[in-house]
Amino acid sequence: MTTSVCRLSLVAMLLIVSFSTFAQGILFSEKRIILKNQGIYTLQVCNPTEEARTFQLSIIDKTVDVHHKLVDIPDSVTFANSLKNEVRIFPKRITLPPGECQEVQLQLRGAGILTDGEYRSYLHFLPLLTQAEITPDSLKAKKNDAPSFDIIIRIGAAIPLIYRKNAALENVAIDSVSLVRNDKQEPTAISLYIHRKGNRSTYGSIAVFSGEKNELVTTYPPIAIYPEVVGRRVNIPIAKEKLVASPNGQYMFKIVYINEEDKQREDVLCEWTGEVR
């Protein structure tokens, strides 16, 4: 495997709209990586901050709870659909000077022995302490001749790695649509439930249209629905100024869940049309 580093001005880097910002001052060129064969995959990572950042890379497992919140799976627990033993990372530690980018390479191995289904793990970037985080308190303690300490919480960033072997998405549907109202009974959000059936996840954005002319009211960023759950509820904020009720007090909506996994395609995963009071 090879690695490359490139210099990129901060202004130019922030203009690359395909990059996604994550915690602890790091940008990724992809929000998720779909592994389709045993080749080598390249992820571009950049440092938009004004100080050097060092990250330790590893493969970790996460699952989702009933509320579709990501939950870490301890190393001592086996996740049946893990890719931990199937993906190799290079390098496993990177240091990014301010405004610089570097490639991280991934290689899928041993996928041929996996049974049918969708497999998922996460490429995890754990930020290591910077010099500024290490030194201030020790200097302060020497100056004041008194013990001193800080508690520093390191929040990692992770992106999903997904491999599918004959995994199928049988059905996706939207139901349980309702309006969320404030104390004045004014609509502030539209609530809906997206069902997923099959052994494959979905990843898509949501567009909400209203009225007889199907005018776009709002859009919602891409969300994933993983095989561990049958679906998830989504509450989408809406501006009441964009809504016009019918004489009987109902609102007409068209809601579309649009595939965002393949940037070259815009397949409609499912849609719902109806009236909501």
Cα–Cα distance measured from residue 129 to residue 133, given in angstroms and rounded to the nearest whole number:
6
Question: Which tens digit of pLDDT belongs to each residue from 159-187?
Answer: 999 999 999 999 999 999 999 999 998 99
Sign of CA dihedral 261, 267, 270, 276: positive
Most confident of 73-87, 139-153, 196-210: 196-210
- Mean pLDDT, range 201-210, rounded to an integer: 96
pLDDT at site 234: 97
pLDDT value, residue 110: 81
Q: How does residue 67 score in pLDDT terms, banded at 50, 70 and 90?
A: confident
Query: H/E/C letters for each residue in the chain?
Result: CCCCEEECCHHHHHCCCCCEEECCCEEECCCCEEECCCCEEEEEEECCCCCCEEEEEEEEEEEECCCCCEEEECCCCCCCCCCCCCEEEECCEEEECCCEEEEEEEEECCHHHCCCEEEEEEEEEEECCCHHHHCHHHHHHHHHCCCCCCCCCCCCEEEEEEEEECCCEEEEEEEEEEEEECCCCCEEEEEEEEEEEECCCEEEEEEEEECCCCEEEEEEEEEEECCCCCEEEEEEECCHHHCCCCCCCCEEEEEEEEECCCCCCCCEEEEEEEEEC
Q: What is the pLDDT of residue 272?
A: 97
Domains of the chain: 5-165 (2.60.40.10), 169-276 (2.60.40.10)
Answer whether residue 7 shows pLDDT above 70.
no
Average pLDDT over residues 92-96: 95
Copy the structure tokens of residue 144.
């004041």
Q: How confident is the model at residue 98 (pLDDT cuts 50, 70, 90)?
A: very high
**The one-letter amino acid at 182:** N
pLDDT class of 244 with cuts at 50, 70, 90: confident
Q: What is the mean pLDDT of the chain?
A: 84
